[in-house]
Amino acid sequence: GDSVTQMEGPVTLSEEAFLTINCTYTATGYPSLFWYVQYPGEGLQLLLKATKADDKGSNKGFEATYRKETTSFHLEKGSVQVSDSAVYFCALSTRGQNFVFGPGTRLSVLP
């Protein structure tokens, strides 16, 4: 079945550091790819998405590019802030199937 693998962390960075969270997937169809973020005590919020190969999703300084050749959707941000501390989930959705989420990566940003 479809699956998502991502680095589980925790990842600890200093403020203004560069962030990369790796995500790779396995899917039988042509999935849409998503990054969700979960702040403490809250539900998940959509951060960005990409629906086809070579699409780049971006939001709030975060970016991820849909790489079909490497089946990857790595999340990047050039300069993280303390307020970015959260758990980040990579996910995929294939038409006709339910969402599949990765295990989540906890990010802590220190001032």
Partner 1 sequence: KAGVTQTPRYLIKTRGQQVTLSCSPISGHRSVSWYQQTPGQGLQFLFEYFSETQRNKGNFPGRFSGRQFSNSRSEMNVSTLELGDSALYLCASSLVSGSNNEQFFGPGTRLTVL
DSSP-assigned beta bridge partners for residue 6 = 23
Among 25, 34, 62, 88, binds partner 1 (CB under 8 A): 34
Which of residues 28, 69, 70, 96 is near partner 1 by CB under 8 A? 96
Residue 71 C-beta: closest distance to partner 1, Å: 17
CA distances from 21 to 14, 28, 32, 84, 93 (A): 15, 23, 18, 13, 19
Per CB under 8 A, does 57 bind partner 1? no
Pick one of 23, 31, 84, 90: the residue that binds partner 1 (CB under 8 A). Answer: 31
Phi/psi class of residue 105: alpha, beta or left (left: φ > 0; alpha: ψ in -120 to 50)? Answer: beta
The residues that touch partner 1, with contacts defined as CB under 8 A, are: 31-32, 34, 36, 41-46, 49, 51, 89, 93-104
